[in-house]
Amino acid sequence: MKLFNRNKFNKSTDEELILLYQKTKDKAIVGELFNRYYHMVFGVGLKYLKNSDEAQDITMIAFESLFEKLLQNEVRNFKSWLYRLSCNECLMKLRKESKTSTTEIETLEYRLESNSDELKEKEKQELTFSKLEEGIESLKEEQKICIRMFYLEERSYNEIAAKTDFTLKQVKSFIQNGKRNLKMKMQEGDF
C-alpha cells in the first residue's frame, strides 16, 4: 500500500527525513516513512490485536500521531522507536476496550520488552554486517573477489580458481590476507 511518491526521498535515511520534517513540516516526509514501515506497524497490530481491521486502524493511528510526535521527540533510531510506539498504541487499545485482563496485558508488556531487546540485537547485527560490507569494499580487488566468492557465495577454493583464473595458491593467499585485513579493520574501527 504505497500512497506517496517515493522518488523524492528514497535515498534519504530515516534520520535525515525526520530532521527535514522537523524543519519543513512537509507531510510527504511522513508519507515516505509510512511507505517504509507500514508492514512492520501493521504486523505489530496483527500480533497484538489478532484482527486485520483493528491492525489497520492501529497502523493509521500510529502514523497519524507521527505528525506531532516527530516534532516533540528526539528520535535516534526511528525503526525501534516506531516499533515501540506501535506496541504502546496496541496496549492502550487493549486496555481501553478491557477485552484483555490485567495479567494478559502485563504478559504482552513483558513480551514487548523482550522483543525490544531482540530488535536491538538485530540492529547490532545489521550494523556489523554493514561494517563488514564496507570493510570488504576497502580490500584490494583480488582479496575482495575471493572473500565474496568464498564467504558470501560459498564457493570452494577450486571453484574460485576456475572462475577467476587465479591459481589455487593465490586464492588461498587472497582469502587469508583478506580475512586478516578485515579483522584488523574491525578491531581498529576504520569504518
Residue ending a domain, choose from 105, 126, 147:
126
Q: Which tens digits make up the pLDDT trace of 108-153? A: 666 666 666 666 666 666 667 667 777 888 889 999 899 888 887 7
Same domain? 57 vs 115: yes
Q: Which tens digits make up the pLDDT trace of 24-43? A: 999 999 989 998 999 999 98
Whether 131 maps to a domain, the answer reads no
Q: How many residues does the chain have?
A: 191
Same domain? 72 vs 118: yes
Whether 182 maps to a domain, the answer reads yes
pLDDT for residue 10 is more than 90: no
* Range of the structural domain that residue 52 is part of: 14-126
Same domain? 27 vs 72: yes
Q: What sign results for the dihedral spanned by CA atoms 110, 111, 116, 118? A: positive
Whether 133 maps to a domain, the answer reads no
Phi then psi for 11, rounded to 5 degrees? -95, -5
Q: What is the DSSP string of 36-56?
A: HHHHHHHHHHHHHH--HHHHH
d(CA 160, CA 145): 9
Same domain? 145 vs 171: yes
Specify the CATH number for the domain of residue 149: 1.10.10
Same domain? 120 vs 161: no
Total domains present in the chain? 2
Same domain? 88 vs 166: no
Whether 153 maps to a domain, the answer reads yes
Q: Which tens digits make up the pLDDT trace of 51-108? A: 889 999 999 999 999 999 998 888 888 888 898 888 888 888 887 776 545 566 666 6
Closest CA to 56 of 79, 32, 34: 34
Same domain? 105 vs 160: no
Query: What pLDDT does 7 receive?
Result: 57
